[in-house]
């Protein structure tokens, strides 16, 4: 808007423009002050605080607030950043159990924090806590060892699990979360590619598939929508070899099937991955080896191939039964 005034006079319109501009600056200054105050309260190092943008600051504050609803001051021994010990326990408690009343005083920070970090270092992956709608509530610090991104860098992508997962996995994630929510305590697993750092992608040839295995549990009494969350352990799944790895067959085996997915042939390297001899699989159905929870995903890929999608049918990460009755994660294309 253009405001004009005669020399020596200040019209009401001109005064309004100047007032609005001044008020906007005052509001921005006030917001900056409040954001700096919030940043100072975050339980991270001064060096990390200096590197935080306003977006990162708000993302971390929201994560802390969601966590504080589950771990209020004085409960479970410590504040939100030190809950690795409690969450490790929650992941292995019997179904429909709640967390123990509190962490003993002698395990409170810094001793509790040190023990929590020690436990994290022993895990094969990182801990993830989600709300019923998929909002991120807690991510353990060792996520950097798995994805090459810190908690702050991961939150910059968004505040839900869908923001950190590749879009192809979203439908399956929603389905599994709904299934787990309808049957509290039931263990579910979903797999998807999670965003990683550039250095990680260069080192490993792309993003990595991560298996998320967990269940819904009540972290407080009485159980409610605000205290019931999805507790999960996220572990890496072996990556699919890139074209540059085509000369090595150590990481893959190939199979051929008739239209109903019965094996007609399979390479000898299947023995290394699944333990079966080639002759044992010929004539068997591919579906007889699949984990029940992965059957729908495999069927969708099967239908896409049957419609002539070919390579555009994409890849699927599935659990396949080994000869020793354990499950192996395979990326199938």
Same domain, 109 and 91: yes
Last residue of a domain, one of 211, 236, 261: 236
Same domain, 248 and 192: no
Tokens of 45: 């190092």
Question: What CA–CA distance (Å, rounded) separates 119 from 85?
Answer: 7
CB atoms within 10 A of CB 42: 18
Same domain, 71 and 181: yes
Condensed to tens digits (0 to 9), the pLDDT of residues 106-150 reads 444 444 455 556 666 677 889 999 988 888 888 888 888 888 888
Per-residue model confidence (pLDDT) at position 22: 80
Same domain, 90 and 151: yes
Question: What CA–CA distance (Å, rounded) separates 83 from 233?
Answer: 14
CATH value at residue 111 = 3.30.450.20
Average pLDDT over residues 179-184: 84
> CB-based burial of residue 63 (10 Å sphere; 0-12 exposed, 13-18 middle, 19+ buried)?
buried
The mean of the pLDDT values for the chain is 74
86 pLDDT above the threshold of 80: no
Same domain, 258 and 148: no
Last residue of a domain, one of 191, 215, 236: 236
- Give the range of the structural domain holding residue 301, as residue numbers without chain letter: 243-332
- In this prediction the pTM is 0.64
Same domain, 53 and 133: yes
Condensed to tens digits (0 to 9), the pLDDT of residues 207-264 reads 778 889 899 887 766 666 667 889 999 988 765 454 445 444 566 888 999 888 999 9
CA distance readout (Å), 116 to 72, 84, 329: 18, 5, 29
Question: What CA–CA distance (Å, rounded) separates 205 from 235?
Answer: 18
Pairing state of beta strands 255-257 and 228-236? Answer: unpaired
Q: Is residue 286 a contact partner of residue 298, using CB atoms and an 8 Å limit?
A: yes
Cis peptide before 81 (omega within 30 of 0): no
Q: How many domains does the chain have?
A: 2
Same domain, 125 and 197: yes
Per-residue model confidence (pLDDT) at position 88: 52
Same domain, 169 and 254: no
């Amino acid at each position: 808007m253009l405001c004009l005034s005669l020399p020596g006079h200040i019209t009401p319109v001109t005064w309004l423009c100047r007032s609005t501009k001044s008020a906007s600056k005052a509001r921005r200054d006030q917001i900056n002050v409040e954001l700096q105050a919030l940043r100072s309260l975050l339980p991270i190092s001064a060096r990390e605080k200096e590197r935080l943008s306003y977006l990162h600051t708000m993302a971390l504050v929201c994560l802390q607030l969601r966590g504080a609803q589950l771990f209020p001051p004085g409960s479970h021994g410590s504040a939100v950043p030190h809950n690795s010990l409690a969450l490790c326990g929650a992941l292995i408690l019997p179904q429909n159990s709640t967390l123990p009343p509190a962490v003993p005083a002698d395990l409170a920070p810094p001793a509790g924090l040190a023990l929590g970090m020690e436990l994290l270092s022993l895990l094969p992956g990182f801990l993830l806590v989600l709300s019923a709608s998929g909002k991120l509530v807690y991510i353990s610090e060792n996520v950097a060892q798995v994805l090459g991104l810190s908690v702050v860098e991961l939150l910059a992508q968004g505040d839900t699990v869908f923001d950190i997962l590749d879009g192809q996995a979203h439908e399956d994630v929603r389905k599994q979360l709904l299934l787990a929510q309808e049957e509290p305590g039931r263990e579910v697993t979903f797999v998807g590619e999670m965003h990683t750092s550039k250095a990680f992608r260069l080192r490993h040839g792309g993003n990595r598939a991560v298996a998320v295995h967990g269940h819904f549990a009540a972290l407080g009494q009485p159980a409610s929508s605000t205290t019931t969350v999805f507790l999960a352990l996220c572990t890496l799944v072996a990556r699919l070899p890139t074209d540059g790895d085509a000369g090595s067959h150590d990481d893959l085996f190939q199979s051929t099937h008739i239209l109903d997915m019965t094996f007609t042939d399979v390479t000898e390297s299947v023995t290394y991955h699944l333990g079966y001899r080639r002759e044992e699989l010929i004539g068997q159905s591919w579906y007889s080896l699949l984990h029940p929870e992965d059957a729908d995903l495999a069927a969708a890929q099967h239908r896409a191939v049957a419609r002539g999608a070919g390579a555009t049918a994409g890849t699927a990460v599935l659990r396949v039964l080994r000869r020793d009755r354990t499950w192996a994660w395979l990326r199938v294309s």
